[in-house]
Amino acid sequence: MFQQTGFGSLLKEGSKHYSGLEEAMMRNIDACKALSKMTRSSLGPHGMNKMVINHLDKLFVTIFRRDQDENKLATIVLRGSTHSLLEDAERAIDDGVNTVKSLVKDKRLVAGGGATEIHLAHLLQKYAKTQPGLDQYALEKFGQAFEVIPRTLAENAGLKAEEIIAKLYAVTADSKTSGLDVSDGQIKDMKEAFILDSWETKSWAIKLCIDAVLTILRVDQIIMAKPAGGPKPRDAQAPDLDD
């Protein structure tokens, strides 16, 4: 860092067009000091020890270095052989961070592995049988729509979705927390297996899906747009090779 006397010696005497430059430089240096203090205090006493810009391959990344084990800030640098692996790793980290953020707001958890969805489907279809008229069919289809979560889990795990759905329906009447463990393909208690989902995320997903369906049902008429232009072009014909 330049001292006021040292910086002034760098400028030639009598150079009037440099007037005020020394003062401006010192103001910038003081501002940097104030910014560093503000950043450190906002992140807590153990937030970071040093903030550096490092060069990784062809990219410049900002790294927050710290020596303490307990702090409020961390840097995660991902490396991978292919771009798709990096995207998968980044997506997994984003999902984990968002899960923590959701649990900070609401700590309630529900059974995962499709257990919550299949139990809701069971209750809705059971309630549909008590309703007369067309409401019965609407409620039944609404309940069947919840099967998409356990069905997707089974298909992604390479299992037979129809068999998994049938097994889940068979056990959900006695156990509300029975779901699919994709690691071994078995039906087990999700609470005992510690396979849980955020209640807030699950509830908002259901609300948004219902709002999307209601928006579509409110549409009275759909006008299909046709491409503008002249007559339809003629089909290409085979050339006459005799000519």
Give the pair of three-digit tokens for residue 17: 């067009």
Alpha carbon distance 34, 229 (integer Å):
65
Residues 6+ apart with CB under 8 A from 67: 49
Residue 116, pLDDT score: 92
Q: What angle do CA 88, 93, 99 make, to 5 degrees?
A: 125
Beta strand 59-65 pairing with 109-111: unpaired
Q: Which domains does the chain have, with CATH numbers?
A: 21-75 (no CATH), 78-107 (no CATH), 109-217 (1.10.560.10)
Residue 61 pLDDT grade (very low, low, confident, very high; cuts 50, 70, 90): low
Helix (H, G, I), strand (E, B) or coil at 37: helix
Q: How confident is the model at residue 154 (pLDDT cuts 50, 70, 90)?
A: very high
Q: What's at 38, amino acid-wise? A: M
Average pLDDT over residues 62-91: 75
Q: Using 50, 70 and 90 to split pLDDT, how confident is the model at 3?
A: very low
Only one residue has tokens 């609401």, namely 106
Tell me which of 45-59, 66-80, 86-100, 141-155 is least confident: 45-59
pTM of the model: 0.59
Residues in contact with 155: Cβ distance below 8 Å, sequence separation at least 6, in sequence order: 161
